[in-house]
Amino acid sequence: MKRFAVIGLGHFGFHAAKALFEDGNEVVAIDTDKARVQEISPHATEAIVLDATDKEALRTLGLDRMDGVIVSVGTKISTSTLICLYLQEIGVKSILVKALDEDHEKILKRVGATVIIHPERDMALRVARGLSTPNVLDFIPLAKDFDLVQVVPPREFLGKSLAQLNLRARHNVQIIAVKELTPENMVLAPPADFVVKSSDLLIMLGRSQDINKIKALR
């Protein structure tokens, strides 16, 4: 089980927290608005009314031990920038922040954001590309009980080559591609000497039960 925090419970933050919780993760949901916190409460491990621009209050939450913290706090650039800076200073390793525009993205990167999110832009691109160049993977008729999914590599995979992991023999799954996030790159049919990094997403094909066993590894 992984642990995440979501700061800001507007539309994006609310649905991100809810989806993470429904996937079986521990989720701490944070907002200054009591009504929003009450609304997310059934869909989070813990829901807290808190001003995330208070550095000492943030420090008490143990966010440095989280697998990731999502920041989605509305339209004030200064607020999200300050929160991102504080998260970086208290040792949060993975900070995902919703950016308002390209300039905001540049600022967020300078103060420690590891992943920048542009929800409207990214969804628009996804829809447009899906219409103009449909992804062939969407049309592969998989047999019952088989999945084709993106999987965050477990800690024990990090720093090891695909040959060392030998996933086909050990777990009965096949890595058909790797999506590298830093820098962005897609490695199709990765070679045996490809070394798995924490910023990678593994595109994995196999039986649902076998993939779920890998997801359960920490």
**Which of the two residues, 216 and 17, has the higher pLDDT score?**
17
Average pLDDT in the 106-110 region?
A: 93
Tell me phi and psi for residue 29, to 5 degrees.
-105, 130
For residue 13, pLDDT over 70 is answered with yes
pLDDT tens sequence across 122-167: 777 666 655 655 444 444 555 667 788 888 899 899 999 999 999 9
Q: Mean pLDDT, the chain, as a whole number?
A: 88
Half-sphere exposure of 165 (CA within 13 A, CB side): 26
Query: How is domain 3-123 classified at the CATH fold level?
Result: Rossmann fold (3.40.50)
pLDDT of residue 69: 96
Is the model's pTM score more than 0.75?
no
For residue 209, pLDDT over 70 is answered with yes
pLDDT of residue 206: 86
DSSP state of 136: G
For residue 81, pLDDT over 90 is answered with yes
Q: Which residues contact 201 (CB under 8 A, 6 or more apart)?
A: 150, 151, 152, 153, 178, 179, 181
pLDDT of residue 135: 46
Q: Which of 25-39, 94-108, 129-143, 194-208 has the lowest mean pLDDT?
A: 129-143
Average pLDDT in the 33-43 region?
A: 96
3-123 and 138-216 agree in CATH topology: no
Sequence spans of domains, the chain: 3-123, 138-216
Q: Chain centroid to CA 210: how far?
A: 22
User: At how many degrees (to 10) do helices 102-110 and 77-89 cross?
Assistant: 20
Average pLDDT in the 5-22 region?
A: 93
CA dihedral (72, 78, 79, 85) in degrees, to 10, reads 90
For residue 8, pLDDT over 90 is answered with yes
Percent of the chain residues past pLDDT 90, beyond the cut: 60
pLDDT of residue 139: 46
For residue 61, pLDDT over 70 is answered with yes
CATH of domain 138-216: 3.30.70.1450
Burial class (CB in 10 A: 0-12, 13-18, 19+), 202: buried
